[in-house]
A = this chain, B = another copy of it.
Amino acid sequence: MRVAVQEAPFDLGAEAAAFAAGARGAGAVVTFTGLVRDNGGRLAAMEIEHYPGMTEKAIASIVDEAVRRWALTDALVIHRHGRLGADEPIMMVATAAPHRADAFAAAEFLMDYLKSRAPFWKKEIGADGAEWVAAKATDEAALGRW
């Protein structure tokens, strides 16, 4: 299990390959990568603020819960903070399991909880000003299914 909270970019291909190479015994590897959407060209940059200390603890606790609920052989969470450009990877999760249903469910669970329970806040910087991204009711509602 690895959790990385970092300002530096990451190479999703290299991370996915290394994760799968380490997932011996697993038949199924799922990855999710979140990318900065350029909102039809209106986005100049995205700034991600976080709560150092709490962020790492919150993610570790979400990963622990996923490991407790599903038969995973490994899990990975990388989440960036700071200033990001359009189309840059914001974060990724990866899960490895003997069976695909576990790998998929755990990856979706990790995403739903990271969205709404890990202390990150996104601000979109556009040509016409900056705006904090509002939390979506659908993201909060997504937690209800677990």
A28 within 8 A of B: yes
Distance, CA A73 to CA B23, complexed state (A) = 29
Per the bound structure, the CA–CA distance linking A126 and B20 in Å amounts to: 23
Contact between chains at A27 and B31 (CB < 8 Å): no
Copies in the complex: 2
Question: Which residues of A, 1-53, contact B by the 8 Å Cβ criterion?
Answer: 11-18, 20-21, 23-38
Q: Is the CB of B34 within 8 A of A31?
A: no
Nearest B residue to A96 via CB reads B35
Question: Could you give, for residues 102-142 of chain A, a 1 whenever the CB lies within 8 Å of some chain B CB and a 0 otherwise?
Answer: 01100110010000000000000000000000000000001
Please indicate the chain B residues that have their CB under 8 angstroms from the CB of A87 in the complex: 21, 24
